[in-house]
Amino acid sequence: MTVLALAENQETIWFITLGLAAVVVLVVIILLSLLTGIVRDIDRDVDEVWATAQKVARNTTTTWQLGNTADLTGALRGEVGEHADLFRSKGGQR
């Protein structure tokens, strides 16, 4: 019967290899944990940006009407002027 055994230097090399493998596994676990945390932060920040963008979109949906504001303000000024003139002609003061 043959007994399989490793020489002392081969056994040392195997233990070193297993130790290095354990270190590599731990480093990978740590790096993946850090990556998971970073991805969560990015996801939360993206949600914030999305919510802010929706608020901006809601607040700017009627900005196309601002072009009419100057024209309508001028028309209102004319109308108010006519009312003021009428008021003055009827004996009002100002």
What pLDDT sits at residue 67? 80
pTM of the model: 0.53
Top-confidence residue, 61 or 3: 61
Does residue 92 register a pLDDT over 80?
A: no
Does residue 80 register a pLDDT over 90?
A: yes
Residues whose CB is less than 8 angstroms from the CB of residue 84 and which lie 6 or more positions away in sequence, other chains included: 94
Task: Read off the pLDDT of residues 31-74 as tens digits, 9 standing for 90 and up.
Answer: 999 999 999 999 999 999 999 999 999 988 888 878 888 888 88
